[in-house]
């Protein structure tokens, strides 16, 4: 949308509220285009690691990549779209780790086993972030820039939804709203702990991950109690219904 002197004030306000476009404009279809696309992302990550969020710009990326601005704008409408794609890819790599650690067997197994799995997941997430070019800065950008909040929140919501389904299999009688809350808070805790380890370098990754794992695993007792109460209510309701049926037949 082009804003000129003839554009109404309401339209200008709407455009400002909508924020910059984050979607990739064109997905590369040919080999050469794919190489250019990936080069822009690789160089963008390198530039972000060197200059940080505030100084990051498409001009620097183009200069370092030896590409013209039109070549970049063919795929990315602005620097936020480039950061968005970097963030989306990092979070996908992080999310791919979850099924390796959190399974139905782990959820219904011992508390110690659940703690080990949660700690392993957090340490693995930290490792992937650390080994990704500019991983820590991409993580910080997703948190610091409001325009990128949807990338982080949508990813977390998707992960939480998958975990709700897994928890329902483990605790079919537990309250669904409680499972939803547990899933969402757990996802936020793990990612917040990952960020903390980069922001507070003296902290021990083993200690932090162990603490977070113990906190999350400790809540499992509430889920089990919730499921037990639900099962008791159903048995009680069943007995009441049976007694009522007998009474009706007796009359």
Give the tens place of pLDDT for each residue, 60-105. 999 999 999 999 999 999 999 999 999 999 999 999 999 999 999 9
The pTM (predicted TM-score) of the whole model is 0.81
Per-residue confidence (pLDDT) for residue 219, from 0 to 100: 87
Per-residue confidence (pLDDT) for residue 26, from 0 to 100: 86
CA dist 61 and 43 (Å) reads 6
Mean pLDDT to the nearest integer, 202-212: 95
CA dist 104 and 108 (Å) reads 6
Over residues 12-45, the pLDDT tens digits come to 444 445 688 898 988 888 999 999 999 999 999 9
Question: Confidence band (pLDDT; 50, 70, 90) for 234?
Answer: low
Domains plus CATH for the chain?
19-82 (1.10.10.60), 87-238 (1.10.357)
Whether 7 shows a pLDDT value over 50: the answer reads no
* H-assigned helices in 7-134: 9-18, 31-55, 58-65, 69-73, 79-95, 98-101, 104-108, 111-131
3-state secondary structure of 133: coil
Per-residue confidence (pLDDT) for residue 250, from 0 to 100: 62
Which is more confident, 94 or 223?
A: 94
Whether 176 shows a pLDDT value over 50: the answer reads yes
Whether 222 shows a pLDDT value over 80: the answer reads no
Per-residue confidence (pLDDT) for residue 8, from 0 to 100: 46
Query: Could you tell me the CA-to-CA distances from 162 to 46, 75, 132, 167 in Å, in that order?
Result: 33, 31, 25, 9
């Amino acid at each position: 949308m082009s804003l000129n002197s003839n554009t109404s004030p309401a339209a200008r306000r709407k455009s400002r509220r909508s924020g910059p476009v984050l979607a990739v404009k064109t997905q590369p279809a040919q080999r050469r285009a794919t190489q250019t696309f990936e080069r822009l992302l690789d160089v963008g990550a390198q530039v972000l690691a060197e200059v940080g969020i505030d100084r990051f710009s498409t001009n620097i990326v183009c200069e370092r990549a030896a590409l013209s601005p039109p070549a970049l704008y063919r795929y990315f409408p602005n620097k936020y779209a480039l950061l968005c794609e970097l963030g989306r890819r990092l979070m996908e790599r992080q999310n791919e780790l979850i099924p390796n650690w959190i399974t139905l067997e782990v959820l219904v197994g011992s508390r110690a086993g659940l703690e080990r799995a949660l700690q392993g997941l957090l340490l693995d997430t930290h490792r992937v972030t650390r080994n990704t070019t500019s991983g820590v800065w991409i993580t910080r950008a997703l948190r610091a820039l409001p325009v990128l909040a949807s990338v982080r929140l949508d990813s977390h919501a998707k992960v939480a939804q998958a975990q709700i389904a897994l928890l329902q299999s483990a605790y079919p009688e537990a309250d669904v709203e409680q499972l939803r809350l547990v899933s969402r808070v757990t996802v936020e805790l793990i990612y917040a702990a990952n960020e903390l380890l980069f922001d507070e370098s003296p902290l021990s990754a083993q200690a932090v991950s162990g603490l977070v794992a113990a906190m999350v695993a400790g809540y499992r007792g509430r889920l089990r109690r919730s499921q037990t109460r639900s099962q008791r209510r159903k048995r009680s309701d069943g007995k009441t219904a049976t007694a009522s049926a007998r009474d009706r037949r007796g009359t």
